[in-house]
Structure 1
Amino acid sequence: MARRLHVALAGVTALILLTGCGTAAGDDDSPKVFRVGFGGDPITMHPHLSAPAYNIFLTPVFETLVKSTPDGGHEPALATEWALAEDGRSLALTLRSDVTFQDGTPFDAEAVRANLEAAARPGTLTARSLTTVEGVDVVDDDQVVLRLNAPGGHLVGVLASEAGMMISPAQLNGDETARNPIGTGPFQLTELTRGRTVYTRWDAHRDAGSTELAGIEIHGFPDDTARLNALRSGQLDASFIFPSQIEQAEQAGMRTTVAERTVFHSMLLNTGRSEFGDPRVRLAIGLALDRATMAQTLYDGNCRPTGQPYPEAHWAHSPEAGQPEYDPDRARALLAEAGLPDGFTFTLAISNITTYQRLGEAIQGELARIGITVNLDIMDNPSLTALRQSGNFDAVGGQYESGRPDPTTFLTDFYLPDGTFNPGDFATPGGAELVDLARRSTDTAERADPVQQVVADAAELGAPVVPVCFPGSIEADAPHVTQGVTVSIVGDHDFSTVRMDSGGTGR
């Protein structure tokens, strides 16, 4: 099916792009375009190269093999069934037979094989999630089997994330997907410009009637205030905002919805640098943070304090990890026991986004009370991401994701030796064995105990990830938006649930 895609060069501002977007909606049957504000633009439209925080741009175009449910479970999507072998060393998938890609290519087992092989290529962000996959065997058009070199219960979550997003096979060997993506989803990308990403409903989708939207516009606003102001002025129908903006949005007549999320604001310590190799130092830092006051001061009380990476609503939450404790006297005593009665100095790298910069300043102030000097290194997001991946840091602050694509991925990355974000090789006792045990099943009830044990053990040792609070995913909607985007606990965005009445500005 032919379609048009316009890609503009840099230099067009979001404000200019918004001009003229306030056309009033007609009656209830008129085409409706949902305009939503987000904290930035997509770096790429290629699922294998896109960071999880940007999946909002991918989900309109790409469907996954498995779908994440709002509560952290999984349900059929392009795969209707899956079965993990008794030894955990193979995963069989049964596929839908009524699916085509937006370019007319059939979706079948060969397409799945080609996609998973491409997602596992070195240099992709998805490759590390597929290291247990040795090969993909095509049984017939509707059946594939993933051969594994280790237990693969976690792969159900992986296949519900970017690694499981199905791209037209015609695009897998080039870079076209980065700017002109073709999936099996209900929307097609029709415009990609600085400040605005535009989608049009694909009427040939098998379930096109599930959404009343004729299109979607995602407007990128790095500035938090500008994003909220665009909603208040009628240039947007909805916007994702930070916790500190909830009161402002509601005073302006907007409805706000907070979705529970497995993202948390935190600080990552390099246990191979500074004094962080001593568990007493890490424990002292955790005890020195007055999270309740920080949540009130920084987020107007709308960021729930936590001392662990999983909210109570998620099955990986560990009751044994306990609640965050504030005890600066005990923190000073631990530093003295570690031979640091006068404290020490380290550098905290933090994003230049206002919310995170304020987080860094708050951590700086809290730790100063126990004699620790924090030098802030403020940088843009791409530079911060590169620094974290390099391992060449004392500490990095910001937002961390613990549930996507699977909790054992987070544990492997941060709590096991050789983890992607564990340059100091922090380890919990028997952590690798517990992760292996958690991957021998796809049943979260069976997986919960070993995962929660690793979380509890890390907390007892002073985990290198020092959580502050859970901000959730917060959407502010104009009055004419009767139902907003559904955001799962691991951050998938479902636009099919959006509903707007005839009195709005969506066009």
Structure 2
Amino acid sequence: MRKSRIFTVATAVAMAITALAGCGQSTQGGVSDDTLTLATASPLGSFDPVKFDVGPGKPYWQAVYDTLLRQDANRNVIPGMASAFGYDSAHTTLTLDLRKDLRFSDGAAFDANAAKANLARFTSTPGPNSATGEAITGIDAVRPDQLVLHLSAPDPALLPNLASALGTMVSPDALSKGGFDQVPVGSGPYLYDSAGSQPGTTVFRRNSAYPDGSQYPFDRLELVAISDPNTIRNGLTTGRLDAGSFVATDASKLQAAGLSTVQVANAWNGLILADRAGTIQPALGKPEVRQAINMVVDRDLFRTLAPGNPPATTQIFAPGSGAYDEQLNAAYPHDVTKAKELMARAGYPGGFAVTMPDMTSFTGSPALNTALDMQLGAIGITVTWEKVPPTQLLTSMTSGRFPMFFMSLGMKSPWEDLQLSVLPAAAWNPFHVSEPELAALISAAQHAEPGTAQDAAFRAVNRQLVQSAWFAPIFGAETVWASVAGVKIERQERGYPDLVRFQRAGS
């Protein structure tokens, strides 16, 4: 097959490829004294925490808001607006001691009542992030500097979620007045400069009242929505940009251009075999069919097509996370003969027909469709590719319109990954499937003692997902971040780098 590039499908559908006319005027060969100009694949979205883009759009809201907790570069949860935090022995009551030195940019005080108002609104407002607060059943402002959260059951992802959208604090006055989704009022390191912004370029200026401002060395921040790697590379080499990410260029080429690089594993790419109950495609209700799909997929071939020759994988969890098991990557060797045997055992020796969304407009090439046509066709699976308007694509996949589809999903902590794509209410479990054995394993992991015992329980969940073939992961994805002289991007375990990772070189 002709070699071509497969671009990772972005979590945000509307990726703007914008001109660099609005970029900051960094001098060639290094960042200017006061401005960090950062390219991001995501355009400006909503400043409403329930609707945040928690992937490539993170810098927009991390600039203006602070969170109850934070995560360090190793993804350990550390204090944020809460100076201390701790669970009870059952892990169903979380107490947070709040800082007393914080105020919002409109002058409103941050205290337990403000935090309670934010969490109460978040947990009662529908949105793509609202599921992260589902376990919270009660919120008590015990005193001005202490907040207590009561949970229906242990939530292993609550702490990292309180370092993300769930824990984002909006001024209580802005919550009452509204409009903060467009004009944010937070307590973060920067203030949104709506007058200085323009379509494709969003500008922020330093919030001088932010007490932790030394962690953010740049007085001005510009976020430029660009997804084309050539445009980003040109911007970096001419000094119009200071930092940006790449999915189609390896680190060696960037380094040869005199740029500094870091690589971060942040996603898995492959097939979501969503209709596991056989609701609209009965064949997918058979584990043997899903296992056959895993076995007929030639992961080594896909690796040669994908940028950077990423590692093959059969699992949805990140390397280095508690759920990851290297041995599981050998579970499905490429074996067409064995795959045909599994199809026959399931009662589908001649295969079946299936409709999948056409991803050509996002992959930049029909190579993905061609490869899947050839490989699935080897066991009689005939694919009809349906073109879906880009603005409707994600909705069509998460609504149960398609029984299976190719997707790229981010990887975080094991419980966050389960919340995203496995739990019955997960956005990427569109048919809301639950299997008794898997549900029991998930419950055991949820209630296990954090640490070694919980990691082992999550690995048991992983083994069951791979054995039952809920997905057909093909390869992992590493984002390559590049920066000019004068800017250092601190390496971060998993996910898109937090804004605080962008520092001056030598600092």
Deviation at 1:23, TM superposition (A): 4.7
**2:138 alignment partner in structure 1:** 135
**1:77 alignment partner in structure 2:** 80
**Is the 1:13–1:194 contact (alpha carbons within 8 Å) kept by the matching residues of 2?**
no
**1:286 alignment partner in structure 2:** 294
Map 1:84-123 to 2 at 5 A.
Answer: 84-123=87-126
**2:204 alignment partner in structure 1:** 199
Q: Secondary structure at the match of 1:391?
A: coil
For the structure 1 residues 26 and 190, does the alpha-carbon distance in structure 2 shift closer, same or farther, using more than 3 Å as the test?
farther
**Is the 2:352–2:381 contact (alpha carbons within 8 Å) kept by the matching residues of 1?**
yes
Correspondence for 1:474 among 460, 480, 496: 480
Q: Which sits farther off after the overlay, 368-377 or 143-152?
A: 368-377
**2:434 alignment partner in structure 1:** 427
**Is the 2:28–2:239 contact (alpha carbons within 8 Å) kept by the matching residues of 1?**
no
**Is the 1:473–1:487 contact (alpha carbons within 8 Å) kept by the matching residues of 2?**
no
Is it true that 1:386 corresponds to 2:400 in the alignment? no
What letter matches 2:402 in structure 1? F
Map 1:49-64 to 2 at 5 A.
Answer: 49-53=51-55, 54-64=57-67
Q: Which sits farther off after the overlay, 491-500 or 77-86?
A: 491-500
What letter matches 1:333 in structure 2? E
Aligned partners of 2:292, 2:440: CA distance in 1, in Å?
Answer: 28
CA distances 1:437-487 after superposition (whole Å, capped 9, x unpaired): 333367343421222211111111111x22122212321222x14412554
**2:3 alignment partner in structure 1:** none
Is it true that 1:312 corresponds to 2:315 in the alignment? no
For the structure 1 residues 27 and 429, does the alpha-carbon distance in structure 2 shift closer, same or farther, using more than 3 Å as the test?
closer
What letter matches 1:169 in structure 2? P
**1:4 alignment partner in structure 2:** none
What letter matches 1:453 in structure 2? A
Q: Secondary structure at the match of 2:67?
A: coil
Aligned partners of 1:130, 1:447: CA distance in 2, in Å?
Answer: 21
Aligned partners of 2:30, 2:464: CA distance in 1, in Å?
Answer: 58
Map 1:28-67 to 2 at 5 A.
Answer: 31-53=33-55, 54-67=57-70
Q: Alignment length, in residue pairs?
A: 484
Aligned partners of 1:424, 1:462: CA distance in 2, in Å?
Answer: 15
TM-score by length of 1: 0.87
**Is the 2:118–2:172 contact (alpha carbons within 8 Å) kept by the matching residues of 1?**
yes
Q: Which sits farther off after the overlay, 338-347 or 490-499?
A: 490-499
Map 1:314-463 to 2 at 5 A.
Answer: 314-319=321-326, 321-323=328-330, 325-351=333-359, 352-354=361-363, 358-379=367-388, 381-403=390-412, 406-440=413-447, 443-463=450-470
**2:128 alignment partner in structure 1:** 125
Map 1:151-166 to 2 at 5 A.
Answer: 151-166=154-169
Q: Which sits farther off after the overlay, 487-496 or 147-156?
A: 487-496
CA distances 1:168-197 after superposition (whole Å, capped 9, x unpaired): 112224542222112221112214432111
Aligned partners of 1:379, 1:220: CA distance in 2, in Å?
Answer: 23
Q: Secondary structure at the match of 1:292?
A: helix
What letter matches 1:264 in structure 2? W
Q: Secondary structure at the match of 1:48?
A: helix
Correspondence for 2:238 among 222, 233, 237: 233
Q: Secondary structure at the match of 2:51?
A: coil
Aligned partners of 1:72, 1:365: CA distance in 2, in Å?
Answer: 40
What letter matches 1:163 in structure 2? L
**2:305 alignment partner in structure 1:** 297
**Is the 2:322–2:456 contact (alpha carbons within 8 Å) kept by the matching residues of 1?**
no
Deviation at 1:488, TM superposition (A): 4.2
What letter matches 1:408 in structure 2? W
**Is the 2:263–2:491 contact (alpha carbons within 8 Å) kept by the matching residues of 1?**
no
**Is the 1:305–1:468 contact (alpha carbons within 8 Å) kept by the matching residues of 2?**
yes
**1:5 alignment partner in structure 2:** none
CA distances 1:36-79 after superposition (whole Å, capped 9, x unpaired): 21213022122211232222321122222121233332111112
Q: Which sits farther off after the overlay, 247-256 or 56-65?
A: 247-256
**Is the 1:71–1:314 contact (alpha carbons within 8 Å) kept by the matching residues of 2?**
no
What letter matches 2:167 in structure 1? G
**Is the 2:95–2:148 contact (alpha carbons within 8 Å) kept by the matching residues of 1?**
yes
Structure 1 regions of 5+ residues with no counterpart? 1-9, 502-507
**1:277 alignment partner in structure 2:** 285
Aligned partners of 1:147, 1:415: CA distance in 2, in Å?
Answer: 24
**Is the 2:438–2:465 contact (alpha carbons within 8 Å) kept by the matching residues of 1?**
no
**Is the 2:67–2:168 contact (alpha carbons within 8 Å) kept by the matching residues of 1?**
yes
Aligned partners of 1:427, 1:419: CA distance in 2, in Å?
Answer: 11
**Is the 2:398–2:429 contact (alpha carbons within 8 Å) kept by the matching residues of 1?**
no
Aligned partners of 2:252, 2:355: CA distance in 1, in Å?
Answer: 33
Aligned partners of 2:426, 2:239: CA distance in 1, in Å?
Answer: 45
Deviation at 1:213, TM superposition (A): 1.0
Is it true that 1:146 corresponds to 2:155 in the alignment? no
Deviation at 1:258, TM superposition (A): 0.3
For the structure 1 residues 60 and 413, does the alpha-carbon distance in structure 2 shift closer, same or farther, using more than 3 Å as the test?
closer
Correspondence for 2:186 among 183, 207, 215: 183
Q: CA RMSD in A?
A: 2.9
CA distances 1:111-163 after superposition (whole Å, capped 9, x unpaired): 11011011112322232111111121011111111122222343112212211
CA distances 1:338-357 after superposition (whole Å, capped 9, x unpaired): 23223222222254223686
Q: Which sits farther off after the overlay, 108-117 or 235-244?
A: 235-244
**Is the 1:67–1:77 contact (alpha carbons within 8 Å) kept by the matching residues of 2?**
yes
**Is the 1:72–1:314 contact (alpha carbons within 8 Å) kept by the matching residues of 2?**
no
For the structure 1 residues 114 and 300, does the alpha-carbon distance in structure 2 shift closer, same or farther, using more than 3 Å as the test?
same
TM-score by length of 2: 0.87
Correspondence for 1:221 among 223, 226, 232: 226
What letter matches 2:271 in structure 1? M
Aligned partners of 1:233, 1:18: CA distance in 2, in Å?
Answer: 14
Is it true that 1:489 corresponds to 2:494 in the alignment? yes
What letter matches 2:257 in structure 1? A
For the structure 1 residues 27 and 469, does the alpha-carbon distance in structure 2 shift closer, same or farther, using more than 3 Å as the test?
closer
Q: Secondary structure at the match of 2:124?
A: coil
